[in-house]
Structure 1
Amino acid sequence: MPSLFRRKRLMIVLLGFIVLVTLIGFSIRDRDSLSTPEKFLQDSVGWMQTIFHKPVSFVDTTVENVQDMFNVYEQNQVLKTRLSEYKGVIQENQRLNKEVDELQDTLGKSEGLSDYSSIQATVIARSSDRWFEQMTINKGEEDGVEKDMAVMTSDGLVGKVKSAGAFHSTVLLLSGFDRSNKISSWVVREDKEEAFGLIEGYDDESGRLLLEGIKLDEELEPGDTVISSGLGGVFPSNLRIGTVEEVVNDQYGLTKTAYVEPFADLFDINHVMVVDRSVETIDTSSEAEGDES
C-alpha cells in the first residue's frame, strides 16, 4: 500500500510538470491574441497595478510638492537675504559717494585757501549730550592742530578748535558759541563798503548766528554775505560764515543785530579743514620788483 501511494503521488507530480511545461511553451510562443484565462490574468494584474499605483503616485507627488515648497521657501529666504545685502550695498555706495563728493569739495576749497595752511580731518565722534555744540576730529598736535584754530567745511566756517590732544581734537561748533567766543566779521554788500560786526552767539530757536554790534546807520539787506574779517587775531580773513536773513535793533536801540544763516550744515559734518593762519602770505609781485631792481 505504501508503495502504491508513492506511485500515485509520483504520477501526479509528473503530470503536473508536463502540464506546466505545456503551458509555459504555449504562453511563450508567438501569438496574435491571448487566451481568455490570459486576458483575465492580464486584466486582473493591470487593475491591481492601477489600484496600487494611484495612492503611491499621490503620495510621491505630495512628497515632491512638499519638498518643492521647502525649496521655494529656502530660496525665498536666500533671495530676501541677498536683497537686504543689496540694499545695504546701495546705501553704503550712496554714503561713500557722498563722502567722495564732500572730500572733493573740501580739497577744492583747500586749494582756494592758498594763503593759509589747512589740515584735512574727519569727524569721528559727537557727544550725545552736547551734539549741537562740539565734535571730535582725528587730528591733533602731532598733525599741527592747535587750540583756537578755525575749522570749516567746503561750504563755510563751522567752529574752532576748543582743545587739542596729541592725535585728536575737540571742535567747538558755531552753534555752541556764546559771548566769550566772538568772530570779527564783515558784511559784504553790493555797491557799498563792508559793514563790521561780531558773531557773538547762536539763537537756538531759529538756528541762526547772532551778528551784533552793527552801527545803526548801516543798511543791511537779506542775502548779504557775512565773512570773517581776520581782525580778531584768531580767525583768518575771508572765511565764509553765512548770509543775513533778518536785521533788528538791539534792546537798547544803540546798535543792530543781524540773524545769520550759516553756509555750512552744522548738524551734518563728516570732513573738515583746520585752518592755520600762522602761515605768512608771500607777495610775489613785490619779490619780482625787488629782483628787477
Structure 2
Amino acid sequence: MLKVFKLFNNKRLFILLITLVLFIVVMGFSLGARKALSWPENFLRDTTGFVQSLIYKPAGYIAGFFEDIGNLHDLAEENERLKITVAQFTREQAQYNFVQATNEDLMEQLNFTKAQKLMYKYDYHIAQVISLNTEPNNSTLVINLGSKNGVKPNMSVISVEGLVGVISEVSNFTSTVKLMTMLDINDPNSQPAIAATARTKENQTFGMIESYDPKTKMLSMNKIAPNDPISKDDVIVSSGIGGLYPRALMIGTVESVGVGQFGLTRTAIIKPAAEFQDWKQLIVVFRSEATE
C-alpha cells in the first residue's frame, strides 16, 4: 500500500515537472522572434477582435450620434448667418443702382431730418415660422418674433428671394404676417399697396403693386405712366415712396405690359420673386428708427 502511494506521488511530481518544462518551452517560443503567430494565438486574437468589434462599433456610432447632435446648434447658427448674408447681398444688389453716396449728398442738400435719413438704414432679423394659414381669404403665417424682439406692425417680411408680406399683428413673443397673396386694394383687410419701380430705371419708372391674382399667381402693377420705359423682364423693387415699405426690396419680374384701366395708364403683370410655400424661416426688416 505504501509503495502504491509513493508511486502515485512520483507520478504527480513527474506530471508537474513535464508541465513546467512544456510551459517554459512555450514561453520561450512565444517570446522569440517569429514571422507568424501560432494557431492558438491567431484564434485568441481573432476571437478577441470580433468581440471588440461587436462592442466598440455600436459604441462608436452612439458617440458619433451624440457628437452630431452637439454640432447641430453650431450648424443652425451658421445657417442663420448665411441666410442673413444672402438677404443682404440681394438687397445691396438691388440698391446698387440707387447710387447711395449721391443720395446721401442730396439728403444733406435738401436738409433731410435725422428721422428721414434713418428710414433708409435697416437691419435683418431671422424668424422661425411657427404656423401657416392658407385659407383664400386669410393667407397669413405666424413667426416666433414679437414685441419683446422689437417687432412692430407694418414691418416688411422677406425671404431670401423677395418680399413676402407685412406684419399685421404683434404679441409679446409672436407676430402674424399678412402675405402678399392677400394684396387687393378693394379689400379693407388687405395689406397696403406697394410703391414700386424698376431696377436701373429708378428715376423713370413708377407704379403701384395693388393686387394679386390667385389663379395666375401674378401681381398687378398699376398707375404706370404711358411714357414709362418699363418693359418685359425688368426687375421690380420697392421704391420706398410712402415710407411703409423699405426701399429696394425685391418684388418680382415683369411678365408683360398692357393698357391700364380707362386706357389712361398702363399695367404690368409681375411674377413674384418669392415663392409662396411652406417656409421654415423668414426675415423681418428692421429700420433704424423702428429699433430706437
TM interval, short-chain normalised: 0.5 to 0.7
1:151 maps to 157
CA 137–246 in structure 1, closer or farther in 2 if over 3 Å, else same: same
Are the structure 2 counterparts of residues 124 and 240 from structure 1 closer, same or farther at C-alpha, using a change threshold of 3 Å? closer
In structure 1, what is the equivalent of residue 284 of structure 2? Answer: 272
Q: What letter corresponds to residue 259 of structure 1 in structure 2?
A: I
1:184 to 189, 194, 201: 194
> Residues 99, 233 of structure 1: CA spacing in aligned structure 2 closer, same or farther, 3 A cutoff?
closer
Distance in 2 between residues matched to 1:249 and 1:166, nearest whole Å: 45
TM-score computed with the length of structure 2 as normaliser:
0.56
Q: How many residues align?
A: 231
Provide Cα deviations, 1:133-168, integer angstroms capped at 9, x if missing partner. Answer: 42324231x555432233346765432110122343
Matches within 5 A, 1:15-94: 16=3, 68-85=49-66, 87-88=68-69, 93-94=74-75
Matched to 1:138, the amino acid is L
1:200 Cα offset (Å):
2.4
Residue range with higher mean Cα deviation, 62-71 or 97-106: 62-71
Deviation for aligned residue 1:225: 3.3
1:174 aligned partner: 180
2:268 matched to which residue of 1? 257
Pairwise CA distance, 1:87: 5.0
Change in Cα spacing, 1:262 to 1:275, as seen in structure 2 (3 Å) is farther
Q: Which moved more, 1:92-101 or 1:199-208?
A: 199-208
Which residue number corresponds to residue 228 of structure 2?
218
Distance of 2:55 and 2:85 partners within structure 1: 44
| Post-superposition CA distance 1:235-286 (Å, at most 9, x none) | 34x232334231143696833222143279874534422337779xxxxxxx
Q: Is the 8 A contact 1:136 1:168 kept in 2?
A: yes
Q: Cα distance, 1:128 vs. partner?
A: 3.9
Does 1:198 pair with 2:208? yes
Q: Which residue in 1 is equivalent to 2:248?
A: 239
CA deviation profile, 1:209-234 (whole Å, cap 9, x unmatched): 43234345434234423233344453
CA–CA distance in structure 1, aligned partners of residues 289 and 237 of structure 2? 15
- Aligned letter for 2:267? K
Tell me the distance in 1 between the aligned counterparts of 2:259 and 2:54.
70
Verify the 8 A CA contact 1:150 1:159 in the aligned structure 2.
yes
Alignment match of 1:123 (pick from 120, 127, 144): 127
Q: Report the residue type matching 1:275 in the other structure.
A: R
Unmatched runs of 5 consecutive residues or more in structure 1: 1-12, 29-41, 47-57, 280-293
CA 1:165–1:222: 2 relative to 1, 3 Å: same
Range moving further from structure 2, 198-207 or 170-179: 198-207
Whether 1:163 aligns to 2:166 is no
**1:204, CA displacement in angstroms?**
4.8
**Which stretches in structure 2 are left out of the alignment for 5+ residues?**
23-38, 93-99, 101-115
- 1: CA distance between counterparts of 2:146 and 2:273? 24
TM-score, length-normalised on structure 1? 0.56
Cα distance in 2, alignment partners of residues 191 and 239 from structure 1 = 12
- How many angstroms apart in 2 are the aligned matches of 1:191 and 1:60? 84
The answer as to whether partners of 2:235 and 2:252 remain within 8 angstroms in 1 is yes
**Corresponding letter in the other structure for 2:286:** V
1:124 maps to a residue whose letter is: Q
Return the index of the structure with the highest Cα Rg.
Answer: 1
